[in-house]
Amino acid sequence: MEVAAIEPDPDARSRVWIRVAFGGAIAAAVIPIVVAMIRALRHDWLPVGDNGFFGVRSYDVFGSHRPQVGTWTSASLNSPGIDFNNPGPLLFDALAVPVRVAGTAVGLAIGSAALNVAAVAGVAIVAFRRGGARLGTIAMVVAALLVWSMGSEVLYEPWQPHLLILPFLLYLMLAWSLLCADAYALPFAVFVGSVLVQTHFLYVGLVGVLGAAGVFVLGWHARRLARAEPEDRWTRERRKLVRTAWVSALVVVICWAQPVVEQFTSDGPGNMTLIADGIRESDAEAIGPGLGIRTVASVLTLPPAWFRPSFDETFSADWESPALATSVLGLLALGAILAASAVYARRNDDAVARNAVATAALAVGCALITATLMPETLFGSVTPHTFRALWAIGPFTVFAVAAALVGARSDAPLRTRPVVFTSAIVALVVGVLALPATNYGDGPNSQAWAVGPARALSAQLESLEGQGPFLVDDLFTARFAEPYSGALVAELQRRNIPFVVDDPALVRQLGPERAYNGTNAEGALVLKMGADSREPPTGATLVAHHDGLDRAERAEVLHLQEQLAQDLAASGGIVLNRRGERARERDQLPPVPTLANGEIDVEALLGRAEFADLVERDLVEVDGVHPDDVARYAELLQRGDRETATVFLVPEPDRDEQGAP
């Protein structure tokens, strides 16, 4: 008897390829993060600057100095006399295991990259749950674009303004799910929202409003079901809602137990009280609606928006805010696009896509209110780290519009297979573009030049083992935003060398158990940089030293300085260019020595690090000198200034007489 051949199911084969394409899109967004982390570890990355604090406090989670609050926040500077921390330690808890197992540097890089990978995977899962592979691959396109825009060196950095961007994109996806009345999204939204708020309390408004809207929709949906559905279906739905509510409540208790315990057991006011007092006593002016509108529009609507090179240039020291009229028109155009997308989704009876657009509109509105109310800081009216949430809102807005255009349903006008395959190819191309090393962002990892010197200094701390505690306040006072102190205290901890601090902000940063009481230090460690590093304090003992230049380079500096002085004397000197004049108007010019007639004192400037800063920022015109000579001299001068560092050990100072640093 002849047996008929079994024809393969073409739909089943298509579904397999769609799943493969979706998986490839996820890989395209995730692999750049993994590659960046591996490259950092191969180059012996070290947590410099504020990154070192995350290493210390993450290591403390399983030790005797367990943190119950987050990092000290610079928002305290707006409330003199009131130092407070970000609300909770969930980020430290998340990084604690890799830091303990793999060491501070390796553990921080692996843990931070893993959190970003988990966020991208979460975005993919939520989008797939709402709209299958169609929306899943589109979500991976915007995630890959965001990863590419951020640049590789912030993808494994624990500094919270950068580490929270991808998790906030995940939170926006979860908020969208809540607006779709997906009760199962609630406990995940509670957890991710808790991480965001505890780690950087500037997310309070964004997380709170979006979360409240989602909970309201869940409640409204439950009420509608109770009235309209048969009793048996409502009973099932009610059980699901009750279970989800209990699980979410448990997540709240677990996530917020530590801050609550600290609030009621702290010596003195708890951190939540200090936050409230700090906000109430703040003497900072809000940036206002005008600048707030221009700030939001700069990332969400005006070129280059949230794409490269915005992460590096927007809100930088040289950033020029756009005209208010242009900003308003850009935001109105965005509003019109969102409105048209919502109408289109409604006509297609696509509630899922319509809710995505509603979530995006709500996020943009919250961003405008938050930006308007944002206080000015000592670092400027608009600083990158306070507005990084915009780099997640921008991609989600693009995703919402795309979701409305392609449709979330399988019977949408655009067929699933072309959408998925096209999106997967775009995600792959963007993922490849994101692979090369790119150091964007104004965070600790932007000081990559400090890793080598910090590693050299850390290796020499071996001589301190078995001694201590040491007072380390003066490791942090060499100059503003110096990169070495964080790495040095992390190395002291790794070597089990105890240390204490006296400055109230540092006590809040490193834990009250490390507070200096006047007698619990054997000596003080002092950091000197640049030319100051060759002038030891009275009675000091050398502990560690790294010279940014070798002997030949120091001789080259002297030769170039002499040659440049001769050439400039004959050509007319150094003058500020248009950018330099604008920087002077904004009070963003480094100290420049001048003559009695107001001209730049060339002879005095050439020997100072400020000359390198002026050249690097392209703020001056140097006539009559070959550009290569200027660039080489500035490079050597800068390297010698910032990469030359020395750690001294001095007898314990009398803090009652000298005061805290």
Q: What angle do CA 199, 202, 207 make, to 5 degrees?
A: 85
CA atoms within 13 A on the CB side of 15: 7
Stretch 14-26: mean pLDDT, rounded? Answer: 91
Q: Is the pLDDT of residue 2 over 50?
A: no
Rounded Cα distance between 454 and 99, Å, is 19
Q: What is the pLDDT of residues 587-603, one digit of tens each?
A: 777 777 776 666 777 77
Q: Is-contact 563 555, C-beta < 8 A? A: no
Q: Is-contact 507 660, C-beta < 8 A? A: no
Q: Is the pLDDT of residue 4 over 80?
A: no
Least confident segment among 34-38, 237-241, 302-306, 361-365: 237-241
Stretch 384-408: mean pLDDT, rounded? Answer: 94
Rounded Cα distance between 182 and 221, Å, is 10
Rounded Cα distance between 422 and 21, Å, is 9
pLDDT the model gives residue 659: 43
Structure tokens at 60: 């403390």
Least confident segment among 82-91, 226-235, 417-426, 457-466: 226-235
Phi, psi torsion values for 203, nearest 5 degrees:
-85, 0
| CA nearest neighbour of 356 among 128, 127, 141 | 127
Rounded Cα distance between 155 and 548, Å, is 28
Stretch 257-263: mean pLDDT, rounded? Answer: 96
Structure tokens at 102: 């793999």
Q: Is the pLDDT of residue 586 over 80?
A: no
Q: What is the pLDDT of residues 601-626, one digit of tens each?
A: 777 888 888 888 888 888 888 877 88
Q: Which range scores top for mean pLDDT: 355-364, 409-418, 568-577? A: 355-364
Least confident segment among 54-63, 187-196, 231-240, 352-361: 231-240
Q: What angle do CA 377, 335, 304 make, to 5 degrees?
A: 60
* Sequence letter at residue 183: A
Beta strands in 454-538 (DSSP E): 470-471, 499-500, 523-529
Least confident segment among 125-129, 148-152, 216-220: 216-220
**pLDDT class for 128, splitting at 50, 70, 90?**
very high
Q: How big is the chain by its Cα radius of gyration, in Å? A: 28
Average pLDDT, the chain: 90
Q: Is the pLDDT of residue 9 over 60?
A: no
Q: Is-contact 179 358, C-beta < 8 A? A: yes
| CA nearest neighbour of 166 among 150, 180, 178 | 150
Name the residue with higher pLDDT: 461 or 226: 461
Q: What is the pLDDT of residues 182-237, one digit of tens each?
A: 999 999 999 999 999 999 988 999 999 999 999 999 988 888 877 776 766 777 77
Q: 539 — alpha (psi -120 to 50), left (phi > 0) or beta? A: left
pLDDT the model gives residue 23: 96
Phi, psi torsion values for 25, nearest 5 degrees:
-65, -40
pLDDT the model gives residue 569: 77
Q: How many CB atoms lie within 10 A of CB 510?
A: 25
For β-strands 470-471 and 499-500, DSSP reports them as: parallel
Stretch 39-53: mean pLDDT, rounded? Answer: 95
pLDDT the model gives residue 661: 39
Taking CA atoms, 21 is separated from 88, 116, 410, 420, 431, in Å, by 39, 21, 16, 7, 14
Q: What angle do CA 197, 342, 240 make, to 5 degrees?
A: 55
For β-strands 620-622 and 499-500, DSSP reports them as: unpaired
Rounded Cα distance between 159 and 194, Å, is 17
Q: Is-contact 651 539, C-beta < 8 A? A: yes
pLDDT the model gives residue 618: 82
Q: Is the pLDDT of residue 340 over 80?
A: yes
Alpha helices in 151-270 (DSSP H): 160-163, 165-179, 185-199, 204-228, 231-265
| CA nearest neighbour of 391 among 433, 459, 440 | 440
For β-strands 645-651 and 523-529, DSSP reports them as: antiparallel
Q: Which range scores top for mean pLDDT: 70-84, 117-131, 530-544, 563-577? A: 117-131
Q: Is the pLDDT of residue 346 over 70?
A: yes
Rounded Cα distance between 286 and 293, Å, is 13
Least confident segment among 73-77, 433-437, 557-561: 73-77
| CA nearest neighbour of 608 among 572, 640, 584, 586 | 640
Q: Is the pLDDT of residue 31 over 60?
A: yes
Q: What is the pLDDT of residues 494-508, one digit of tens each?
A: 999 999 999 999 999
Q: Is the pLDDT of residue 658 over 70?
A: no
For β-strands 541-546 and 574-576, DSSP reports them as: unpaired
Rounded Cα distance between 632 and 612, Å, is 10
Q: Which residues contact 641 (CB under 8 A, 6 or more apart)?
A: 529, 530, 531, 548, 609, 612
For β-strands 470-471 and 523-529, DSSP reports them as: parallel
**Residues paired with residue 72 on neighbouring β-strands, in sequence order:** 85
Rounded Cα distance between 510 and 67, Å, is 9
